[in-house]
Structure 1
Amino acid sequence: MHQVIASPQGDKFVIARPGERKGMQIPHAMYRELSSAVDYGQPIPGWLADAARQAWAIELAGQPAADNLLVRPLTPLNYSRATWEVNKGCNFNCEHCYLAERRFEGLPREEKSQLLLMLRDAGVLWLQLTGGEPTIDRDFEHSYQLAYELGMLIEILTNGSRLHRPEVIDLISSMPPHKVKVSLYGASAGSFDSLTRKPGSYKLLMKGLRAAKEAGVSLELVLIITKHNEHEVDAMRKIAQTYATASTEFTNISPTYDGSPEPLAAQAPGFLDKSTVFQGCPAGHTFFHVDPHGFATMCKIGRENPINLMVEGLDGLLRLPAIADAQMLRSGGCSGCALSATCRVCRPLAKAYQEAKAPLSTYCQHGNGGDAP
């Protein structure tokens, strides 16, 4: 199994190691040298052995390149990241979920493998596995292992309910992901289970956190602050300090991606955050989203004009930049807004808020003391 990955990334070339944050950029000539070393049975070049020793404290000097190095192929496409909604099904029923439906369905295993090969050939190095809950998919272990073998740096977004299972913890211990992000919905069973609407969900989460810590698996906790847990934010932070290497706090609940308002009822108004000014997004140009059926869109929210990758193949992605650009235009309730230059919300998300008839104060400067156009 490879210890190091060399991959094209647009007009650059990078060296990365699974499970590690540190990496490096190299010129095209060094990328070609690594490719030749693998193809012709040569040892790891000395410069890479030195760099790996310094960055990751591993010893590759004199080792066969083919046994330790995965060189990903050049691709005419410029995508480096993708999110894959493996399955919309979930073992929780969270009040704040942005998914319009949570049906347990998706591609059969053979087509999941075909999709992952396409993502590799599109240039995707960073792959986020999400859902629903990705770890409950019947093919999760197979999909994860194949993505890893194809040289992708994997991020798992999970509710943590399956982390305690041996097949899951053994998998991510032996094939380290780039990140595991676990959602934390409270610091007690009362607050946690009231949001997930699943009795026993807090107990499952804590069981998973303890299993990951015991196995030495690094976690990031995402503290989802809602009306159910706003009184125990400090306790949630203490859980993060105990079980995670990093944490973030998420306060702004969004409507479902098709504009239904139900998730907004979970918001804690006193914690709503006015985010930074939106300065553009490369969605559809350097990254994209794939749903459980293999349909590609610009992102998780902007799902207009989906491209069926299982029918069109990679050629379909050639249409995605134009589709994304059309969705980023300020239209509808945002057309002609005098504050658009300092807006904090991207157009697809603003559209979802507008279709949900959300209060302006939850997403728009007009609801925060701004002047209407």
Structure 2
Amino acid sequence: MHDLIVSPYLDGDHLVVSPGRQGGLRLSRAKYDELAHADEPPAWLAEAAAGLWGDLALRPYREKVLVRPLTGYEYVRATYELNLGCNYDCEHCYLGVKEFKSLPWPDREKMLHILRDVGVLWLQLTGGEPTIDRLFCETYGLAYEMGMMLSILSNGSKLHEPKVLDLLTTHRPHEITVSVYGATEAAYDGLTRRPGSFRKFHKGVSAAVEAGLPLKFSLIVTNHSAPEVTKMQALADGWGIPYVTFVNMSPTIYGGAETLPSQSVEHLRKRKVFTGCNAGHTFFHVDPHGTASICKIGREPNVRLIEEGAEGLARLGQIADSLLLRQGGCTGCTLQGTCGTCMPLVQLYRQAKSPLARYCQHREREEVNTP
């Protein structure tokens, strides 16, 4: 299996990366062409790789160095929801109805080939809980084999299971982000509404730390877990795991309001100014049914990826541009240049009849506090 991936990137750049390792090399087109046609690793490649990652076995060259072809597309990142099902029932979950539905293997295999063929180098596997998906290992294994740098969003509950742990230690991910719902069993299980979930989380994370897997924590701060923020931070520090805090609760992907009462108002954070993003242009999202959208929030309009193939993605850029335009009550706002919420997310908050202060944090405007 390959130790290096050579891939086209954005704006004519090319990258060399190594699965499970940080850092990379930026290449010119001439260097990329040299590697694409080489039968032996050039001395400069071996020297540069050793400087970044230590001595790697780059022979036999065609096995150890995977050179991905030029595609004509500039999609370099994607997220893939394997399944909306989950073994938890968290009060804040933005997925709403958690259905255990997903693509059968032939369609899933076809979809992964499409992702490769349009240039996706960085692929995030998410859910629901991706590790409970019946085809998680097969999906991960094929994406890895195709030369994708994989990250996983997980609750950590399955990381100790031998099949999953062996897969992730032999084919190392770029990153595993584990959501943390509390620092004690009572608080954690109370938020997930699943007795025993804290013990599974602890067991999974302990096994991953022992295996040296690249973990990061996302500390979820809701009304339920807010009293334990300091303890959650201490838990992360005790394991030596870096963390970020997630504090702003969103409506469900269907515009449902059932998640909003979980918001810890005192932890509501003013978002950074939204200056645009490359959703639909250089990255996109795929749901469990093989439907591609600009991101996890802006799910409609979309592209039926299995039926339309790579050619269908050509519409995503135009879809993105239309979705990100300020509209409705935002079009006349003189403060929209410093707004921190993208329009697809604004639309979900509006559908949920959320208080204005939850997503429009300009205190100069009149707040709408009716449910």
**How high is the TM-score relative to the length of structure 1?**
0.96
State the one-letter code of the partner of 1:192.
Answer: Y
Could you report, residue by residue, the CA deviation over 1:35-73 in whole angstroms, capped at 9, with x for unpaired residues? 111xxxx22110110001100012447x33212100011
Superposed counterparts of 1:13-28, under 5 Å? 13-28=14-29
Please name the residue that 2:7 is paired with.
7
Q: Structure 2: how far apart are the matches of 1:173 and 1:43?
A: 28
1:244 Cα offset (Å): 4.6
State the one-letter code of the partner of 1:29.
Answer: A
Q: Structure 2: how far apart are the matches of 1:100 and 1:164?
A: 27
Q: Structure 1: how far apart are the matches of 2:281 and 2:205?
A: 36
- Is the 1:80–1:286 Cα contact (8 Å) retained in structure 2? yes
Q: Structure 2: how far apart are the matches of 1:365 and 1:95?
A: 24
- Is the 2:173–2:214 Cα contact (8 Å) retained in structure 1? no
Superposed counterparts of 1:112-191, under 5 Å? 112-191=108-187
- Is the 1:297–1:305 Cα contact (8 Å) retained in structure 2? yes
Could you report, residue by residue, the CA deviation over 1:106-138 in whole angstroms, capped at 9, with x for unpaired residues? 110121111111000010000000000000010
Which consecutive unaligned segments of at least 5 residues does structure 1 have? Answer: none
Superposed counterparts of 1:345-364, under 5 Å? 345-364=341-360
Out of 39, 52, 56, the position equivalent to 2:53 is 56
Please name the residue that 1:232 is paired with.
228
Please name the residue that 1:260 is paired with.
256
Q: Structure 2: how far apart are the matches of 1:280 and 1:168?
A: 37
Q: Structure 2: how far apart are the matches of 1:244 and 1:24?
A: 28
Please name the residue that 1:328 is paired with.
324
Q: Structure 2: how far apart are the matches of 1:233 and 1:201?
A: 18
- The SS at the match of 2:124 is strand
Out of 65, 84, 87, the position equivalent to 1:88 is 84
Which consecutive unaligned segments of at least 5 residues does structure 2 have? Answer: none
Please provide the CA RMSD for this pair: 1.3
1:47 and 2:44 are equivalent in the alignment: yes
Please name the residue that 1:68 is paired with.
64
Please name the residue that 1:365 is paired with.
361
Runs of 4+ in 1 over 6 A off after TM superposition: none
Out of 193, 212, 216, the position equivalent to 2:212 is 216
Q: Structure 2: how far apart are the matches of 1:171 and 1:270?
A: 41
Could you report, residue by residue, the CA deviation over 1:83-118 in whole angstroms, capped at 9, with x for unpaired residues? 000111111111111113210011101211111110
Mark the CA change 1:244 to 1:286 in structure 2 (over 3 Å): closer, same or farther: farther
1:369 Cα offset (Å): 3.6
Q: Structure 2: how far apart are the matches of 1:24 and 1:101?
A: 43
Please name the residue that 1:32 is paired with.
33
- Is the 2:174–2:214 Cα contact (8 Å) retained in structure 1? no
- The SS at the match of 2:82 is strand
- The SS at the match of 2:297 is coil
Mark the CA change 1:306 to 1:100 in structure 2 (over 3 Å): closer, same or farther: farther
Q: Structure 2: how far apart are the matches of 1:351 and 1:168?
A: 38
State the one-letter code of the partner of 1:95.
Answer: E
Q: Structure 2: how far apart are the matches of 1:200 and 1:332?
A: 45
Please name the residue that 1:278 is paired with.
274
1:371 Cα offset (Å): 7.0
Please name the residue that 1:316 is paired with.
312
- Is the 1:219–1:244 Cα contact (8 Å) retained in structure 2? no
1:245 Cα offset (Å): 3.2
- The SS at the match of 1:285 is coil
Please name the residue that 1:105 is paired with.
101
